[in-house]
Amino acid sequence: MDEKTKNLHLTSEEISGESSEENSTVQRRGSVASRGTQSAQVDAELAAVRTARASIDEVTLPLENAGVEEDRTTVSRTITQLDDYILPRLATLDAPLTVVVGGSTGAGKSTLVNTLLGEPITRSGAIRPTTRQPVLIHRPEDAEALTPQRILPHLERIEAKNSTELVGADHSERDQIFTVATESIPAGIALIDAPDIDSVSEDNRRLAKQLLSAADLWLFVTTANRYADAVPWEVLHEAAKRDITVAVVLNRVPEGAEDEIEEDLRRMLTGAGITPAHLLTVTEQERDERGMLPAVALTPLVFWLRELGSNADERSRIARQTLEGAVRSVADRMETITAAQTAQFETAQRLQNIVLTSYTQAQKNIIASTQDGALLRGEVLSRWQDFVGTGEFFRSLETGIGRMRDRVAGFFKGQPSQAVEVEQALEVGLHSVIVEQAAQAAETSQRQWLEERAGRVLIGNRDVARVSEDFPARVAEGIRAWQNDVMEMIRAEGAGKRQRARFMSLGVNAAAVILMVVVFSMTGGLTGIEVGIAGGSGVVGTKLLEAVFGEDAVRRMAQGARENLEIRVHELLDEHSEVLTERLDSISLGPEPALLQRSTEEMRATARGLKEAK
């Protein structure tokens, strides 16, 4: 090669080198930008999941609707899975892969774990269930990544004192998990030896499901005799729904039957939509003096776990796949929770409407009784006729309003006692109607509440239809307060009148009683004041007051007095209904269903994002 060609070749290499360096720089910048985008996406996903978690945490489902216990369990399970797995894993996608070893009672899970590690760490026993407390086994350098703040925060941690201490078979009233740090476990992997999924202990079964929900990968252990049992397949179907990576160990298979049983198990797994990441068949073998199988029996599984632990990309893929399935399953549960929350709001509204409708009808009935002349009959009418007279007074009406004005004061002079008697008779009649209608409204509300389970629980053993001992006294106090308001209205109206002398001669009490009679003779319309009811009582009262105050003033006072009465009746009935409404007011229904629905949609969007990133 001549010098010119050589120089040209060198120049090409230099150019090539510069180009490579530029490409590397661009790639590094792209990598940083990509990590920044991924970080922003993870932050957004975390924010959405935390919002959903906060919303679900406020759901208490206090009303006893049909199926509410199952719904409350769904709420509890959802919060637990969010805390145990989804939030920690989403925050630390590069944490060690959590492999939960689960299976039926006596399947040999603890023996399998000890053999995998090459040392007895978790204890199995002859008493069933064997593994009673789960054991978390990890490398010492991974301890920080597996703290309660990052995984399984609801379980009390108990650290093994030394590597020779066998743990996991003691009984405890609390949810606990032992932690063991050992160099024997492959890097990038954390193993959890879980209680039996079909344990005789309900707490063990619950804890086993909780741990399986916190797994990145399920290492499912079964036996030749138990692989077709129903309970394990419930768990496996759940794994298929959540798209969880599953490895299977078929243990204690008789020599010579390996191919036949393994083929049948694979057929069942395929039917369930599961393609196992690894399937190992272990024949029936003697255990050594430490209770462990020959190491060679599990060599394929050991190599698979080591290879998985050393492959960060594969671990990340499995973690994201499981995480996406978990988020999707939570979104599905949130639909159920939203439906349950909607039912709570609808039940509360229905119970509220029962009370509102009953007491609204009671108020209508009370007001109607003050408009149709019912309160101006009997004792009230008798006292009124004694008050106004029946002969000379009515003849005076016939001679004209002008002449009556001159005789009003003289006619009523010396009759304050009759005015008081009319007032008292009105009070008794109105009091009886209010108490009766309140009791009827309470009885109607109670009867309809008792037709619903939620209403029955809210009422409990109390007879809410029974009128409280102090309610009649409060009604009497309310009526007297209304009567005092009427008197104040009369005083205010008469204070500036030119007919003040006639008004003072008539007297405040007499004028107030007449106005009350006028109110009870109104037929509900603003012009109904002219209508006479109960033997002309309304006409009499109206003409008397008009003679002193004028037509417009009487119309205005009567309407004001009626509105005042309706307000006080409403207040009394509201107070009486509190025996029911306070039960609804005392419970917190939690977030609006629409808020939960928005969080559900955000969770589904998070699941889609995780799926696209796999």
- The DSSP bridge pattern shows strands 217-223 and 97-103 to be parallel
Residue 338 CA to residue 472 CA, distance in Å, equals 44
For domain 94-310, the question of CATH label 3.40.50.300 is answered with: yes
CA triplet 412, 415, 421: central angle to 5 degrees?
Answer: 120
CA triplet 297, 300, 306: central angle to 5 degrees?
Answer: 125
pLDDT (average), residues 182-193: 93
* Tens digit of each residue's pLDDT (9 = 90 or more) over 468-518: 888 999 999 998 999 888 888 888 877 665 555 455 555 667 777 777 777
pLDDT (average), residues 161-190: 74
pLDDT at 557: 87
pLDDT (average), residues 281-291: 90
Where does the pLDDT of residue 23 fall: very low under 50, low under 70, confident under 90, or very high at 90 and above?
A: very low
Residue 197: DSSP 8-state: T
Give percent above pLDDT 70 in the chain. 76
pLDDT at 388: 56
Where does the pLDDT of residue 246 fall: very low under 50, low under 70, confident under 90, or very high at 90 and above?
A: very high
Residue in 76, 117, 336, 305 with CA at minimum distance from that of residue 213: 76
* Tens digit of each residue's pLDDT (9 = 90 or more) over 76-94: 999 999 999 999 999 888 8
Give Dmax (Cα) for the chain.
Answer: 151
Give percent above pLDDT 90 in the chain. 46
Say yes or no to pLDDT of 269 above 60. yes
Say yes or no to pLDDT of 168 above 70. no
pLDDT at 17: 43
pLDDT at 154: 86
pLDDT (average), residues 536-556: 72
Residue 164: DSSP 8-state: T
Residue predicted with more confidence, 426 or 293: 293
- The DSSP bridge pattern shows strands 189-193 and 135-138 to be antiparallel
Say yes or no to pLDDT of 186 above 80. yes
Say yes or no to pLDDT of 127 above 50. no
* Tens digit of each residue's pLDDT (9 = 90 or more) over 419-453: 566 667 777 788 888 999 999 999 999 999 999 99
pLDDT (average), residues 550-570: 88
Please give the helix or strand (H or E) that residue 118 lies within, else none. Answer: none
Say yes or no to pLDDT of 32 above 50. no
Asked if 507 and 412 touch (Cβ cutoff 8 Å), the reply is: yes
pLDDT at 304: 96
The pair of three-digit structure tokens given for residue 59, joined into one six-digit string: 């759901």
For the chain, what are the domain ranges?
94-310, 350-595
Where does the pLDDT of residue 11 fall: very low under 50, low under 70, confident under 90, or very high at 90 and above?
A: very low
Taking the model in full, what pTM does it have?
Answer: 0.76
Say yes or no to pLDDT of 363 above 80. yes
pLDDT at 150: 83
DSSP string, 429-496: HHHHHHHHHHHHHHHHHHHHHTTSHHHHHHHTT--TTSPPTTHHHHHHHHHHHHHHHHHHHHHHHHTT
Residue predicted with more confidence, 398 or 388: 388
pLDDT (average), residues 205-221: 91
Residue in 133, 190, 207, 433 with CA at minimum distance from that of residue 315: 190
Average pLDDT, the chain: 80
pLDDT at 31: 43
pLDDT at 132: 64
